[in-house]
Amino acid sequence: MSNPMMEEKVFKDPVHKYIYVQDRVIWDLINTKEFQRLRRIRQLGTSFYTFHGAEHSRFSHSLGVYETTRKIISQFERRHDSDWPVDQRLICLCAALLHDVGHGPFSHSIEPVFDVNHEDWTCRIIMGDTEINRVLRQVSDSFPEQVAAIIEKRYQPEIAVSLISSQMDADRMDYLLRDAYFTGVHYGTFDLERILRVMRPYQNKIIIKESGMHAVEDYLMARYQMYWQVYFHPVTRSSEIILRKIFRRAKQLHQSGYTFGFMLPSLQQLLGQSLTIEDYLELDESLIQLAFKQWMKEDDPILRDLCMRFLHRRLFKYKILEQIDQAEIEEVEQNLRDSGLDPDYYMEIDFPADLPYDVYRPGQIGDKPPILILNERGQLIEISRKSDIIRSISGVQLGTHHLYYPEEFLYNQ
Ligand code: NI
């Protein structure tokens, strides 16, 4: 199935040092316009307002997930592990490379407002009339559908899915290291080489050799640290809240028949929730930022003001709520109204556990299997039963509610 290239191609990468491309189809996928679009979408959305280095793109992360998957598989192949189905190599590499191709601009903020889902878009792009689909079809007619099945986690053998989607998969391992590198937060690092050496294919699963338990502890501690230091950072949450409110306002204006001073066809389709694949692929962060810049001149005072706050980083401030006190919240709402501000657009109660990040849970989370250790007697044991450290961080939800509102209002009180 695999069609090797005349000569191996190499990308320089700050996390993996080098990324090696050995298959024609991988090289051709990277060069499609849909994959190149990922250069214009940041991996960490609005985190650059908190950590100015966090400008890395989904393009670099996608290459990193591909490379991590390639390394895992080549370890299996080198050892001739009998539980690894050798014919799954190319499909796993394609799925790893393409797993995030459906991400839109600032996806985590846009998705809840417009009811879109990047995983669905990934499959639509793979199956649709796209350059990616044409490249995949060169392998075989059913190949795009098989790659989509891995992304949707309904592919057999299951081991192919768990390489890119489990509680210790190539996706998470790359984004932790990459996000740590670009934010400059050092807690997020762990020994990837060591983990790759102790991963084994076993009875249609990926498991960890008992001697590798401490390397996995280190990986989960890195997750724990990144979760609290980066992904849940309240300043990042504040910028996401403003972003969501901008989209909600624009959507509401669109529905009420408001005439925008600035509009683009793809943006209009987004607001009206009637996107075609072509429109969707037009959307990137440069386009959104251009729109916000133009919307700072809109007639609507709320849209104008929220866009100004976002682009000039006049973020909402926050107050930690030990408990939800309805009277206190109503008072803040009343104060906002008295200052002429609509609480729907200028206040938000946020709880970080809504985010799509999770440190570790011992059981199956949705379709993500837990991490299993294979002991010398050939028994599989869920890792938190062996490790005190992991048990102490498993399933903990230390989050508190935060109340966000504009800074000037804080001083007016
Ligand atoms: Ni990813």
* Per-residue model confidence as pLDDT tens for the chain (413 residues): 567 777 899 999 999 999 999 999 999 999 999 999 999 999 999 999 999 999 999 999 999 999 999 999 999 999 998 899 999 999 999 999 999 999 999 988 889 899 889 999 999 999 999 999 999 999 999 999 999 999 999 999 999 999 999 889 999 999 999 999 999 998 889 999 999 999 999 999 999 999 999 999 999 999 888 988 998 899 999 999 999 999 999 999 999 999 999 999 999 999 999 999 999 999 999 999 999 999 999 999 999 999 999 999 999 999 988 888 888 899 989 999 999 999 999 999 988 764 444 667 776 666 677 899 999 999 999 998 999 888 887 766 666 889 999 977 655 54
CA 120 – ligand 1 centroid, Å: 14
- pTM, two decimal places: 0.94
Please report the pLDDT score of residue 107 as a whole number. 87
Residue with tokens 């570790």: 360
CA 388 – ligand 1 centroid, Å: 29
CA 303 – ligand 1 centroid, Å: 31
CA 141 – ligand 1 centroid, Å: 26
Distance of CA 153 to the CA centre of its chain: 17
CA 96 – ligand 1 centroid, Å: 8
Looking from the CA of 267 toward its CB, the CA atoms found within 13 Å total: 22
**Cα–Cα separations (whole angstroms), residue 139 to 24, 95, 122, 402:** 10, 14, 19, 50
Instruction: Please check whether residue 403 is in contact with residue 319, taking contact to mean a CB–CB distance below 8 angstroms.
Output: yes
CA 332 – ligand 1 centroid, Å: 38
> From the CB of residue 111, how many other CB atoms can be counted at a distance below 10 Å?
17
Task: Show the tokens assigned to 238.
Answer: 């504040």
CA 223 – ligand 1 centroid, Å: 15
SS3 content of the chain, % helix, strand, coil (to 5): 55, 10, 30
> Which of 1-20 are b and which e, b meaning 16 or more Cβ less than 10 Å from the residue's Cβ?
eeeeeeeeeeeeeebbeebe
CA angle 262, 265, 267 (to 5 degrees): 70
CA 270 – ligand 1 centroid, Å: 23
CA 167 – ligand 1 centroid, Å: 13
Distance of CA 210 to the CA centre of its chain: 30
CA 257 – ligand 1 centroid, Å: 37
Residue type for position 399: G
CA 134 – ligand 1 centroid, Å: 23
CA 291 – ligand 1 centroid, Å: 26
CA 63 – ligand 1 centroid, Å: 10
CA 145 – ligand 1 centroid, Å: 20
CA-CA distance, 256 to 409, in Å (whole number)?
Answer: 29
CA 62 – ligand 1 centroid, Å: 7
Q: Strands of 401-405's sheet, edge to edge?
A: 317-321, 401-405, 348-350
**Cα–Cα separations (whole angstroms), residue 8 to 24, 25, 31, 72, 95:** 9, 12, 15, 18, 20
CA 150 – ligand 1 centroid, Å: 14
Distance of CA 367 to the CA centre of its chain: 17
Return the C-alpha torsion angle 263, 124, 101, 44, nearest 10: 60
CA 34 – ligand 1 centroid, Å: 16
Instruction: Please choose, from the candidates 1, 159, 200, the residue with its C-alpha nearest in 3D space to the C-alpha of residue 90.
Output: 1
CA 119 – ligand 1 centroid, Å: 10
3-state secondary structure 174-204: HHHHHHHHHHCCHHHCCCHHHHHHHEEEECC
Bridge-based pairing of strands 401-405 and 348-350 is antiparallel
CA 18 – ligand 1 centroid, Å: 19
Helices 58-79 and 170-183: angle between axes, nearest 10 degrees? 130
Q: Find the helix or strand (DSSP H, E) in which 388 lies.
A: helix 388-393
CA 391 – ligand 1 centroid, Å: 26
Indicate the SS3 state at residue 11.
Answer: strand
CA 103 – ligand 1 centroid, Å: 9
CA 176 – ligand 1 centroid, Å: 10
CA 117 – ligand 1 centroid, Å: 14
CA dihedral for 265, 246, 117, 140, sign (positive or negative): positive
The torsion angles phi and psi of 279, rounded to 5 degrees, stand at: -60, -45
Indicate the SS3 state at residue 233.
Answer: coil
Q: Where are the beta strands (DSSP E) in 258-391?
A: 317-321, 348-350, 372-374, 380-382
Residue type for position 366: G
The torsion angles phi and psi of 13, rounded to 5 degrees, stand at: -140, 135
Indicate the SS3 state at residue 81.
Answer: coil
CA 287 – ligand 1 centroid, Å: 22
CA dihedral for 59, 89, 13, 185, sign (positive or negative): positive
The torsion angles phi and psi of 69, rounded to 5 degrees, stand at: -65, -45
CA 350 – ligand 1 centroid, Å: 24
Which domains are seen in the chain, by residue range? Answer: 4-232 (1.10.3210.10), 234-353+401-409 (1.20.1250.30)
